Amino acid sequence: MSIEKIGETLFNNSLEDFKEYIKKIFSNYKKQVWKGVLIARKVRKILGNRIISSYPIDLDVYLKKAKAEVIYLDIINSGYTINIPQFYKDFFSETEYLICVNRNEPKTRNRFVIAHELGHIFLKHLNPTNKFYINTAKWKYEIEANSFAGETLVPTSVLKNLIYTKKVTSIEHLSQLFEVSIYVVYYQVILANLESDVKL
Ligand SMILES: [Zn+2]
């Protein structure tokens, strides 16, 4: 089962059901969850002050660092990444990866998909020796990429600052500020043990 499928299913579910799902993920895939988070923090640190403490997070900075470009297509699934073969590099110059995104899905969804695909790149899930790598992926890699996406789009340090310093405590309001779905905010809230500090 792909995470994209799970994402779509969850899209209409209540936050209570989503919480059950997150708890399961956190207990069964703790190692993968934290690997994704730690790599996201590492990349964020490397990218430096340009993105720190500003929101919504500017994914273009990440795309440039990853040598990736996004194209919006009429595709059935949410998104995938392909390596650009040497032959095509003349056309895309520096670009190593093409992230293909479903142009019919909402902006918040697409931001998650792009961050998730960036996770596969930064976590080195893609094999650069393959001419084309279509990301049908292993489940563990999906968890890592999702955690990378969560921590990239809603860094826990920025989230805490908004909650404690700026007193933004509504999940809905936070999701608007970060330009993500309420599920991504909620995932990060649970990850950082902030449940008692926010309003659903
Ligand atoms: Zn994936």
Q: Which residues surround ligand 1, an ion (CB under 5 A)?
A: 137, 142, 145
Instruction: Please report, rounded to a whole number, the percentage of residues in the chain having pLDDT higher than 70.
Output: 86
pTM of the model as a whole:
0.88
CA 137–ligand 1 middle distance (angstroms): 6
Distance (angstroms) between ligand 1 centre and the Cα of 167 equals 34
pLDDT mean across residues, the chain: 86
Tell how far the Cα of 27 is from the centroid of ligand 1, in angstroms.
20
- Measured CA to CA, the distance from residue 98 to residue 69 in angstroms comes to 5
Tokens linked to 128: 């650069």
pLDDT digits (tens, 9 = 90+) for 39-53: 999 999 999 866 666
For residue 81, how far is its CA from the centre of ligand 1 (angstroms)? 9
Angle between helices 15-28 and 3-11 (to 10 degrees): 150
Instruction: Locate 7 and state its tokens.
Output: 């994402």
Q: Who's near 79: CB < 8 A, 6+ residues apart?
A: 4, 99, 100, 101, 102, 110, 113, 114, 116, 117
